[in-house]
Structure 1
Amino acid sequence: MSRPETLVAWIKANKKAIGKVVDYNPSADKLYTFDFTSANIELDIDTITDSTRFSRWIDNKLGETGSRYGIGGYMEHRTLYARSPLFDADDEPRRLHLGVDIWAKAGTPVYAPLDGTVHSFKDNDNFGDYGPTMILQHDLDGLTLYTLYGHLSRQSLNEITIGQPITKNQQIAEFGIVDENGHWPPHLHFQLMFDMEGWAGDYPGVARFSEKERWLQNIPDPNLILRFM
């Protein structure tokens, strides 16, 4: 079996081994699915490039719909990355979002959904970047899986060490504020990887759309773990 197929099989056989990433109650909490493709005509470049205005737009959308969390983004071809030169390139800009975003208020707790260890962490402090980032490593009966948590608070990185054991449902972090999370509206970028490919404290969360098939082999759908939908 391929690694994605092996992961799916492991999850089916070990449902009780999977915990939560945020405090989501499917019987009580409403989710709002955000669309950040060109099909979303509500968002213009002026809103996207102004972090305060963009945050207000997110908050209003969640409030209007009575949603505790916003969610979306896996393998989404996003136009909003035009807000930062970090994603530009001469040949093809990076617009393919590789993880899932969970939108909520700053300070929202983040938990480890699986037993594991701290692989690495780093404050990727650039406009439009992850900001404080943590990566955990998990051994799923011989299958190595990494989970990435981006846009955290700086405080989240204060008392962790590489190799530190982490248990399922342990709080590991919280959503960061705009001024420290890469200048985004508060949210969590959650991503799965089979191979870190030499990266530490960071891993691409946005890629060229033309390379989608390559990324699908290393980055499975985070909803396999989140189980939001």
Structure 2
Amino acid sequence: MNFLNQLPKTQVIQSTFEKDNYVFLDLSVTNEELAKIDVSNVSAFQDYLNALYQKNNANIAYGGYNEKRNLYRKSNVFKQNEAKERDIHIGLDLWIEAETPILAAYDGEIHSFQNNEGYGNYGPTIIIKHEHNGEIFHTLYGHLSVKSLENKTIGQKVKKGEIIATLGDESVNGNYAPHLHFQLIKDMQSHHGDYPGVCHEDDLEYYLNNCPNPEQILIF
């Protein structure tokens, strides 16, 4: 997917801060600090985020691509079967307050949208299809507000930088602290309104190829 290197850098969140200051957030199994808090508790996790912001003079946290996490043990959504539990994150998370406007990364059209309800799931999700120099790719925006799905239609045209949604809170986003799950996807296969954002180690090679690191196209 070398054509991604030719794409202009873009933004997918429109913050209300005078200046956006980003800090990397490590949610991997190797982060010993996470063992001290209940990451499944939204309030406790938000306190952890706020302390990270204060320590680093930041207001937005990002990270998570190709990151093995314990976070998903709280939900049956990630259990493929008794022996295989999906725990490697293959999108990028941008942690910022609920109701933050979400922007289309590039010109395109709505491929699909859906409210993926359930504890630990995406909640409201929008997927946009893009074409660049004859190559097709998709961007997925997860953990949105319910109102983000209103007045959406398959094939609806969107422009780069257009507000397409707002972030949801824990009551609708799968019970997480507010954040955007942003993912690049080459082949959607038969998926509509949903696509795996977490995979098992056995499938990692495929998903890293089909879902390249979004950091390469984003402005921080």
Q: TM-score range by the shorter chain?
A: over 0.9
Q: Which residue of 1 aligns with 2:93?
A: 101
Provide the rounded CA distance (Å) in 1 between the counterparts of 2:163 and 2:48. 28
Alignment pair present for 1:158 and 2:155: no
Provide the rounded CA distance (Å) in 2 between the counterparts of 1:46 and 1:223. 28
CA contact (8 A) 2:4 2:217 kept: no
Give the letter for the 2:189 counterpart.
E
Alignment pair present for 1:143 and 2:135: yes
* Residue in structure 1 matching 2:219, options 218, 221, 227: 227
Q: How many residues align?
A: 218
SS at match of 2:32: coil
Alignment pair present for 1:19 and 2:16: no
TM-superposed deviation, 1:87: 1.2
* Structure 2: gaps spanning 5 or more residues: none
Length-normalised TM-score, structure 1: 0.89
* Structure 1: gaps spanning 5 or more residues: none
Residue correspondence of structure 1 range 188-199 to structure 2 within 5 A: 188-199=180-191
Q: 1:110 to 1:32 in 2, by over 3 A?
A: same
Provide the rounded CA distance (Å) in 1 between the counterparts of 2:44 and 2:117. 21
Q: Which residue of 2 aligns with 1:62?
A: 53
Length-normalised TM-score, structure 2: 0.92
Q: Which residue of 1 aligns with 2:119?
A: 127
CA contact (8 A) 1:48 1:83 kept: no
TM-superposed deviation, 1:39: 1.7
SS at match of 2:98: coil
CA RMSD of aligned residues (A): 1.9
Tell which deviates more after alignment, 210-219 or 102-111.
210-219
Provide the rounded CA distance (Å) in 2 between the counterparts of 1:120 and 1:20. 21
Provide the rounded CA distance (Å) in 2 between the counterparts of 1:172 and 1:188. 13
Q: Which residue of 2 aligns with 1:213?
A: 205
Deviations 1:161-185 (A, max 9, x none): 1111000100011110110111100
Q: 1:210 to 1:227 in 2, by over 3 A?
A: farther
Provide the rounded CA distance (Å) in 1 between the counterparts of 2:172 and 2:14. 22
SS at match of 2:112: strand
Q: 1:24 to 1:155 in 2, by over 3 A?
A: closer
Tell which deviates more after alignment, 95-104 or 43-52.
43-52
TM-superposed deviation, 1:5: 1.8
Q: Which residue of 2 aligns with 1:7?
A: 4
Provide the rounded CA distance (Å) in 1 between the counterparts of 2:68 and 2:163. 31
Give the letter for the 2:183 counterpart.
Q
TM-superposed deviation, 1:127: 0.3
Deviations 1:115-165 (A, max 9, x none): 000110000011000000000000112100100000001011112111110
